Amino acid sequence: MIEAYFDGLCEPRNPGGIATYGYVIYKDGKPIKKGCKAIGHGKGMTNNVAEYSGMLRVVEWLNENGFDEKIIIKGDSQLAINQITGRWNVKSATSKRFVPKI
């Protein structure tokens, strides 16, 4: 089983600070990939952009490496998780950049 965790933040202010994310991916309880990145600063940078960017990088890496087993992705952003799963509507232009239309 694959378990992935992501997180993001925008500091020292939200919005408009430095947006960064981090993630770690485990296979059968052992870490197989981790990463972090500063994605930008200033206008347009928010905690939500950081969270979505972390989730997106996890999904991209898993897709690039072709895992065919059960995958669980976890994060602490209620907005990102509830929008990507379809529980919440996507209203903001920021979220629309990350959530596919279904």
3-state secondary structure the chain: CEEEEEEEEEECCCCCCEEEEEEEEEECCEEEEEEEEEEEECCCCCHHHHHHHHHHHHHHHHHHCCCCCCEEEEECCHHHHHHHCCCCCCCCHHHHCCCCCC
Tokens 């919005």, located at residue: 15
| CATH class of the domain at 2-96 | alpha beta
Q: Name beta bridge partners: 35.
A: 23
- Binned at pLDDT 50, 70 and 90, residue 102 comes out as low
Count other C-beta atoms under 10 Å from residue 77's C-beta: 19
95 pLDDT above the threshold of 90: no
> In the predicted model, what is the mean pLDDT of residues 80-98?
89
pLDDT of 1-57, one tens digit each? 999 999 999 999 999 999 999 999 999 999 999 999 999 999 999 999 999 999 999
Domain boundaries, the chain: 2-96
